[in-house]
Structure 1
Amino acid sequence: MLARRSWSRVTDDAPTTAELEELVAAAGRVADHSSLRPWRLIELRGDDRVRLGRAINKALGDKGTSSKPLRAPLLIAVVATYRDKGDKVPRWEQEAVASGVAHALSLLLDEAGWGVIWRTGHYTRSKPVAKLHGLGKNEELLGWLYVGGKPQGSRGGHRKPIDARRHLSPLPADRATAKARKKAAKATATRAL
C-alpha cells in the first residue's frame, strides 16, 4: 500500500473480465454492516467509453463526445446501491461500503500490476450519465476506476509520505481529566522554577 500511486496515463492493456472477477471477489470482502452488499460495478470497454463521452458532454451542455473516458482501455463504474434499512444501516454507511470496495479494488489492481486512478466529476450525478449506466432510483454513481497497463519506465503520480501523527490522536479527555492534567502540568512547572 505504501507504494500505491495513481496512474493518470496508462497503456492500452487491461485485465480481462475473468481476471477482474477474481479481484472483485476479494474487494467485496470489505466491512459491510448487515452484509447488504450495497454496491455494484460496471465494466466499460471499447465503444462503451465513447457512449460515456457523449453522456458526459450532454451533462455539461456540450455537443460531441468528451475524450475523458478514452484515457484508459477499461473504466469500472462504482455504483452505490442503497437498501432501505431505516436507521439500522444508514445511507452514508452504505456509500462508505461502496467506496471501500472501490478502494480495495484499486489496491488489488495495483498489486496485480495495473495502473489505476479513481476519477469523479460533478457529472457523475447527472441524468444523462445515470441513464447510460442504467442506474435505479436507489443508486448513485460514485465515479470510475480508470484501469490500464503501467507504461514502461514510468512512475505513477507523486505522493508525499503520510505523517501518521498528524492524523492519529487519543480521545480528548473529559473535563475532570483535563482539569487534573492542567493542574499537574502547573505543579510541575512551579517545581521547575
Structure 2
Amino acid sequence: MSALDAVRRRASWSRVTDDAPTREQLLPLVEAAGRVADHSSLRPWRLIELRGDDRLTLGAALAKADGDDKPSTKPMRAPLLLAVVASYRKSDKVPRWEQEAVASGVAHTLSLLLDEAGWGVIWRTGGLTRTKAVAEAHGLKKNEELLGWLYVGGKPDGKQPGRRKPVDADALLGAMPAASTKDDAPAKGDALKRASAPKKKKKKDRASKRGSR
C-alpha cells in the first residue's frame, strides 16, 4: 500500500474491540512516526502508554478536574490509550509553537501507521485535557503539555469507521496574494520591469560638455 492510499483510507474509529498492539508492536511504529520534520532535531515530544488500571487513574483525574465525584468512564472506551505529550526544549531557533507542531505531526503519523497495521484509532481531546489534575496523573513536567490521546483497539468486524466529508482541494490550495496597488505604491509588474531594465548612462553636465568660456 502506498502512502497516498494509507492517508486516503484513514478514518477515526470511535468504537474498537479489546484487542490492542503490544509494546513490541508499537516500538517500530513510534520510531517511524518520529521521522516527521523536526527543526534542529529537538524531539520535543513523548508518548505515555495507558493500559488496564492506568485508564481508571485517568478517569479519576478527569472527574477531579471536572468537579465530579464519579470517575469518568471515557478512558475505558479502548484497551490502549497513547497520551501525546509536547515536551518543549530550550531553543533560540525553534519557537514553542513549532515544537508543538512537531508533537502533533508525530501523533497524526502514528495514527496513520496504526491504521495501516490494522488497528482502529481515534484522537481524542476535550476541555479537560490541559487541566492540573490530568497533568499530574500523567506525571507531566513544567515544560510539558498534553495534546490528547490516541485511543487504540481492534477494528470490529462488519463495522465501518466514522465518515469524513471530502476535502475541496481546489478551494484550499490558494496562491500568494497580489502586491499592493495603492496610488503611492508602484505596481508589482512595474517594479520588476524597472529592476530588470538596463541602467542608462547619466548625461554629463552641459556646462562641462561646452567647456568654460
Deviation at 1:140, TM superposition (A): 0.2
Hey, what does 2:113 align to over in structure 1? 108
Tell me, in whole angstroms, the C-alpha distance in 1 between the residues paired with 2:171 and 2:110.
Answer: 27
SS at match of 2:129: helix
Q: d(CA) in 1 for partners of 2:12 and 2:169?
A: 20
1:118 aligns with 2:123: yes
Correspondence list, 1:56-75, <5 A: 56-75=62-81
Paired with 2:168 and 2:130, the residues of 1 have a C-alpha distance of 34
State the partner residue of 1:80: 86
What is the CA RMSD across the aligned residues, in angstroms?
A: 1.2
* Separation in structure 2 between the aligned mates of residue 174 and residue 108 of structure 1, nearest angstrom: 42
**Secondary structure of 2:174 counterpart:** coil
Q: Does 1:42 align with 2:48?
A: yes
The answer as to 2:167 corresponding to 1:139 is: no
Q: Which residue of 2 aligns with 1:10?
A: 16
Distance 1:178 1:55, change over 3 A: farther
Give the counterpart letter for 2:128 in structure 1.
Y
| Distance (whole Å) between structure 2 residues aligned to residue 121 and residue 159 of structure 1 | 20
Question: TM-score normalised to the size of structure 1?
Answer: 0.90
Structure with larger Rg: 2
Q: CA deviation at 1:64?
A: 2.2
Q: Name segments (4+ residues, structure 1) moved above 3 Å.
A: none
d(CA) in 1 for partners of 2:189, 2:115: 45
Deviations 1:48-90 (A, max 9, x none): 001100000000000121000000000000000001113x100
2: CA distance, partners of 1:2 / 1:146: 20
Deviation string, structure 1 residues 14-41 (Cα, Å, up to 9, x no partner): 0000111110000000000000000000
Output the CA distance in 2 between the equivalents of 1:130 and 1:160.
34
SS in 2 for 1:123: coil
Distance 2:61 2:34 in 1: 28
> Which amino acid in structure 1 is aligned with residue 90 of structure 2?
D
Q: Does 1:152 align with 2:150?
A: no
In structure 1, stretches of 5+ residues that fail to align are: 180-193
Query: 2-side partners of 1:103 and 1:110: how far apart?
Result: 11
SS of the residue aligned with 1:129? helix
Shift of the 133–172 alpha-carbon distance from structure 1 to 2, 3 Å rule, reads same
1:173 deviates by 1.6
Letter of the 2:103 partner, please give it. Answer: A
User: What SS class does the counterpart of residue 80 from structure 1 fall into?
Assistant: strand
1:174 has 2:182 as partner: no
Which whole-Å CA distance do the structure 2 matches of 1:178 and 1:3 have between them? 44
Point out where structure 2 has 5 or more consecutive residues left out of the alignment.
1-6, 181-186, 191-213
Task: Map Cα deviations across residues 76-112 of structure 1 (whole Å, 9 max, x no partner).
Answer: 00000001113x1000000000000000000000000
The structure 1 residue matched to 2:27, chosen from 17, 21, 26, is: 21
- 2:39 is aligned to 33
Hey, what's the Cα distance between the residues in 2 that align with 1:173 and 1:110? Answer: 41
- Secondary structure at the aligned position of 2:162 is classed as coil
Give the number of equivalent residue pairs: 178
